């Protein structure tokens, strides 16, 4: 029988950490996430971003670029190790909070079992995550440092992991929980920014709305632009069967979507055009 996964939930790094403050978790937001997840009665996978954990080290030591073309391979390898120490700190905090709320959450690491070639996934281990789900656990996965057949190493983003999981496990929905209400037509910090309740994809996967995106200088995984690219791929690969929802973590809307599958929420729905 096919494993039915209700949701893949992404806890955005900007929501569970204070992203511009080095290795600073947002403990209130993590607790709110745990309370919300404790109300979900279906099979889910949690993937979380690194936020202020890992990105600074990865940027400083050129981990995303790999050691193959670097003059000092040991420098990059050291950064690889330091980046993993950092992201695992945050993963431990999140998993521990989930367990405190009575949830069978277990950490899952991609290192060694997932590989890339020029940053594209060529080896994954979805079966292990599937086995954890079947055994009644909630896998908690984070973006990770991985070996890369071309570059030596790189950063495997949480968004890339979600794309791979969605393609193989076919969840009913993918939910990105962030520190803002959804996708805006431009940065929500800019005057005149408007929340987009829907982002429609044409049949060839192109966005039918012009969206201006930006990312922090130390963010090595692509920021909002990467999330949109991931969402496009998920919706398109599933032929619209798996919609992507983006909303604010500490909101009633997140609970409506994650716990009850409610279609009435403040946020952004990314879906395929009915005309396609």
Q: CB under 8 Å, gap of 24 or more: what pairs does 217-224 form?
A: 217/59, 218/55, 218/56, 218/59, 219/19, 219/55, 220/55, 220/58, 220/59, 220/63, 220/64, 220/155, 221/49, 221/50, 221/55, 221/64, 221/143, 221/155, 221/157, 221/158, 221/159, 222/157, 222/159, 224/183
- pLDDT the model gives residue 275: 53
Name the band, by pLDDT with cuts 50, 70 and 90, for residue 215.
Answer: very low
Name, in order, each residue with C-beta under 8 angstroms of 83's C-beta and a sequence gap of 6 or more: 54, 57, 58, 61, 63, 145, 155
Q: Average pLDDT in the 247-261 region?
A: 92
- What beta strand segments (E) does 179-226 contain? 198-201
- What are the phi and psi torsion angles at 35 (to 5°)? -60, -45
- pLDDT the model gives residue 191: 85
How do residues 105-135 score in pLDDT, each as one tens digit?
999 999 999 999 999 999 999 999 999 999 9
- pLDDT the model gives residue 111: 95
Name the band, by pLDDT with cuts 50, 70 and 90, for residue 244.
Answer: very high
- pLDDT > 90? residue 223: no
Domain region containing 115: 7-272
How do residues 63-87 score in pLDDT, each as one tens digit?
999 999 899 999 999 999 999 999 9
Task: Report yes or no on 2 lying in a domain.
Answer: no
- pLDDT > 90? residue 261: no
- pLDDT the model gives residue 81: 98
What does the alpha-carbon distance between residue 182 and residue 188 come to, in Å, rounded to a whole number?
Answer: 9
Percent of the chain residues past pLDDT 70, beyond the cut: 92
pTM: 0.91
- The CATH number covering residue 143 comes to 3.40.1160.10
Total number of domains in the chain: 1
Task: Report yes or no on 1 lying in a domain.
Answer: no
Q: Average pLDDT in the 182-206 region?
A: 83
* Phi/psi-derived region of residue 223, left when phi > 0, alpha when psi is between -120 and 50, beta in every other case: left
Task: Report yes or no on 261 lying in a domain.
Answer: yes
Average predicted confidence (pLDDT) for the chain: 90
- pLDDT the model gives residue 224: 67
């Amino acid at each position: 029988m096919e494993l039915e996964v209700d949701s893949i939930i992404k806890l955005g790094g900007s929501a569970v950490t204070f992203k511009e403050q080095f290795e600073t978790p947002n403990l209130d937001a993590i607790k709110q996430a745990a309370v919300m997840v404790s109300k979900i009665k279906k099979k889910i996978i949690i993937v979380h971003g690194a936020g202020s954990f890992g990105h600074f080290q990865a940027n400083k030591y050129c981990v995303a670029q790999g050691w193959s073309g670097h003059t000092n391979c040991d420098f990059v390898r050291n950064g690889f190790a330091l980046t993993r120490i950092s992201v695992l700190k945050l993963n431990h905090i999140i998993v521990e909070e989930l367990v405190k709320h009575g949830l069978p959450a277990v950490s899952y690491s991609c290192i060694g079992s997932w590989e890339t070639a020029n940053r594209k996934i060529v080896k994954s281990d979805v079966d292990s995550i599937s086995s954890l789900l079947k055994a009644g656990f909630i896998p908690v996965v984070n973006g990770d440092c991985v070996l890369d057949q071309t570059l030596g190493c790189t950063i495997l983003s949480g968004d890339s992991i979600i794309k791979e999981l969605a393609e193989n496990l076919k969840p009913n929905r993918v939910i990105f929980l962030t520190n803002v209400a959804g996708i805006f037509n431009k940065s929500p910090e800019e005057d005149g920014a408007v929340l987009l309740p829907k982002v429609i994809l044409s049949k060839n996967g192109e966005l039918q709305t012009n969206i201006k995106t930006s990312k922090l200088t130390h963010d090595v995984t692509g920021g909002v632009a990467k999330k949109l690219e991931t969402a496009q791929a998920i919706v398109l690969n599933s032929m619209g069967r798996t919609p992507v929802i983006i909303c604010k973590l500490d909101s009633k809307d997140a609970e409506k979507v994650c716990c009850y599958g409610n279609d009435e929420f403040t946020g952004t729905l990314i879906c395929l055009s009915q005309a396609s």
